[in-house]
Amino acid sequence: MEKILNKLYTNYKKDAGNIISLLQDIQNEFGYIPEDAIYWFSGRLDIPASRFFGIATFYAQFHLAPRGKNIITTCCGTACHVKGSERLINGLMKELDLPEGETTTGDREFTVEKVNCVGACSIAPVVIINDKVHGKSSTDNLMKAIRKLKEKEN
Amino acid sequence: MKHDLIIKICMGTGGIASGGLDVMHAFRNQLGKKSIKADIKKHCSMHKVGCRGLCAKDVLVDIILNNVKTTYQFIKPYMVERIIEEHFINGNPVLEWVVSEDYHQFHDNQIKVVLSDCGIIDPEEIEAYINAGGYDALRQVMLTMSPGETIETIKKSGLRGRGGAGFPTGLKWEFCSKETSAQKYIICNADEGDPGAFMDRSVIEGNPHAVIEGMIIGAYSIGADNGYVYIRAEYPLAVERLRKALQQARKHKFLGKKILGKEFNFDIKVKLGAGAFVCGEETALIASIEGYRGMPKAKPPFPVYKGLWSKPTVINNVETLANIPYILRNGAEWYASFGTEKSKGTKVFALTGKIRNSGLIEVPMGIPLREIIYDIGGGIENDMAFKAVQTGGPSGGCIPAKLLDIKVDYESLASVGSIVGSGGMVVLDENDCMVNITKFFLQFTQSESCGKCTPCRIGTKRLLEILERISSGNGRDGDIKLLEDLSHDIKATSLCGLGQTAPNPILSTIKYFRDEYEAHIKEKKCPAGVCKDLLSYIILDQFCKGCGACKRVCPAGAISGERKAVHKIDTQTCVKCGACIESCKFKAIRKG
């Protein structure tokens, strides 16, 4: 970890970056923002850790907890909403056995995230599975895709 | 080099999601086969193009054979072989896959300025843009016009900010150009946060160079030497194409030092947003670029006087900037000939929801809403009844059927309690509940409120609580009045546009759909059958065949019944998920 942080530190100094770009870089490396990384940079840059946390919790993009191997992003934009995204999400939570308020499964295989709008409203409802956009989703084909991913793991 | 056979495949986010890449590979594989004659291979070129609007029919493929264009819809990889066989080799298009009448109807009723090259040129090739007249405007401006003359042209064109507020672009540039400062900035606001809007994404994906050219012209006019594009990280393809386009522009010396040999240096950096709706607000966006929490500041001072790092800064929306090259190429009078007295030019809208031809459209300002819905949009999906169209996203309002003949421009929409906004238009039909939609928007604004000012932070929360109790059947007498009063207070006292407009969906739905609110509060009923807590599912004895399909899918085990006998739903255990309705082939389950 130290080595990666040092690399990020050098980039930060070189590009005259700011805390947001630094947090984006940390998340690109680790998939989330480890608390230790924040304290490391806080000490190194002499910026209070509270400023890092303030920014990390302000923006929806940052995650302070580790995420699953498969990331499923459900779009909750207006068009997706009127085309039934809520039912998709409910079905998804049930299939993955995720209780209300949780986003990552216990085995860290899946993370379900909601996003405001991915801007693909013409093909609503939209679900993004591991960066691949699936338009005109239905509970059926979504479940099929999830089960396929599960099988792959076993 | 002239090609007799050109293949253009729609490759925006929508096209790729529908399998555009697979179709492209299929063409490449099939054409690579030995059996294809060499002269076809030699004369064939294939291009990816950006969004042409009608994403609902993707993958769309244009075949231009000896200057005759044929457009195919819903193309899948397995269809490619037959198209090559019958169309390329024998010269007979596969008629059953060719686009239908509504494709032409969708396009024929539009006037395209910003989108004129989208879906036609390859967005990843600067040459394609240059061949279509791209960067001519920049040359014309820098070699023959002073910054003042350029600003004057933009002012004359009547172009107003397309991000939502509608401030005259030329005036904004003029204010900034008059500031004396060694350092000025121009920022392109591509933080398209409105749910239900994707104009900016499509423009950047389909024609990124137009935005870049517009920015360079803007920078020249106001005297900026640094620019930023603040773009949502949720748009990976747009970010990739933008970065590619910036590199190409640098290579062609449209960006960098001594642009076109003049004493003018300018370059553009890309800044990724981190997922905060409030960052679409100018001062919050600036805070975010500076690396802070994206919280708005009080205006004045306006960014044109004191913006990024306290320097004079112009912030323009993507669509606004993409208009600039076309205005300068064709003249201010040409642009001003479209639209109305106060709202000139064209506007791009994202037409979505329960509409037959869902997609991206560009129309002259002042077009009647009815024409958009019925002539371009082709009417309501599944022949349902039109109920309302929601414009302007979470800051906008709902326009009911009785106002369908209203003109779509800044002033007219404002007069009925909605806004043009960034251009989202979500069509709602009889199955949509207005209280539910309003609750949806308030959930959005409440969670996106930055928390800096009290009216917005606490007010939106209270509004949402009232809406939640109404939709769950616990509405009280006087709730409508309370919503209205609170809405007016929040509008009057919030710091930035987010809070000032957040109550708009409430006020407009109460104005036009008060009876729906009353039904929820007094009769504890949801007329559209959406609000779960006010619904119950029942099986109609006369239609039930006892097949057991509903029983199998019910996640709560609430359905009982012997095979071939009428089934029953236990309303106590039912979780109202609606799975049974979907599974029933005999339409024997009803909610009400």
What is the DSSP code string of B423-434? SEEEEEETT--H
Fold of B126-336: Rossmann fold (3.40.50)
Say whether residue A68 is in contact with chain B using an 8 A CB cutoff: no
Residues of B in contact with A123 (CB under 8 A): 14, 17-18, 55-56, 58
Q: What is the DSSP letter of B215?
A: H
| Mean pLDDT within A102-126 | 89
How many Cα atoms are found within 13 Å in the side-chain-facing hemisphere of B127?
1
Whether residues A78 and B235 touch (CB distance < 8 A) is answered with no
Angle formed at CA A29 by CA A25 and CA A33, multiple of 5 degrees:
75
**What pLDDT sits at residue B2?**
52
Whether residues B353 and A87 touch (CB distance < 8 A) is answered with no
Whether residues A87 and B358 touch (CB distance < 8 A) is answered with no
Domains and CATH numbers, chain A: 2-58 (no CATH), 70-153 (3.40.30.10)
Rounded CA separation B455/B473 (Å): 26
Fold of B536-591: Alpha-Beta Plaits (3.30.70)
Reading the block at residue B578, the tokens are 């609606």
Q: Which residue of B has its CA nearest to A126?
A: B17
**What pLDDT sits at residue B327?**
97
In CATH, the number for domain B5-99 is 3.40.30.10
- Per the CB < 8 A criterion, the answer to whether B156 and B336 are in contact is yes
Mean confidence (pLDDT) of chain A = 90
**What pLDDT sits at residue B336?**
96
Q: Which of residues 110-129 of A touch B (CB under 8 A)?
A: 115-124, 126
What percentage of chain A exceeds 90 in pLDDT? Answer: 51
Compare CB distances from A121 to B292, B294, B352 and report the shortest one's residue: B352
Compare CB distances from A123 to B14, B193, B582 and report the shortest one's residue: B14
**What pLDDT sits at residue B141?**
96
ipTM, interface predicted TM-score of the complex: 0.91
Could you state, in order of their start, the residue ranges of all structural domains in chain B? 5-99, 126-336, 346-429, 434-521, 536-591
Rounded CA separation B340/B582 (Å): 47
Cα of A116 to nearest chain B Cα, Å: 6
Q: Which residue of A has its CA nearest to B290?
A: A18
**Best mutation site among B352, B361, B428 for testing chain A: the one with the most A CBs within 10 Å?**
B352
Residue A14 phi/psi, 5-degree rounding, is -70, -45
Whether residues B582 and A139 touch (CB distance < 8 A) is answered with yes
**Best mutation site among B76, B198, B429, B446 for testing chain A: the one with the most A CBs within 10 Å?**
B198
* Residue-wise pLDDT tens digits, A15-65: 777 899 999 999 999 999 999 999 999 999 999 999 999 999 999 999 999
- For chain A, give me the number of helices (H) and strands (E)? 7, 4
Return the C-alpha torsion angle A16, A21, A23, A26, nearest 10: -80
Which one of 1.20.1440.230, 3.10.50.40, 1.10.3720.10, 2.60.120.580 gives the CATH number of domain B434-521? 1.20.1440.230
Q: How far is CA B449 from CA A23, B211, B389, B443, B488, in A?
A: 22, 29, 25, 10, 17
Compare CB distances from B198 to A18, A91, A121 and report the shortest one's residue: A121
Interhelix angle B318-330/B136-144, rounded to 10 degrees, is 70
CATH architecture of B346-429: Roll (3.10)
Q: Which residues of chain B have pLDDT under 50?
A: 1
**CB atoms near residue B66 (< 10 Å):** 8
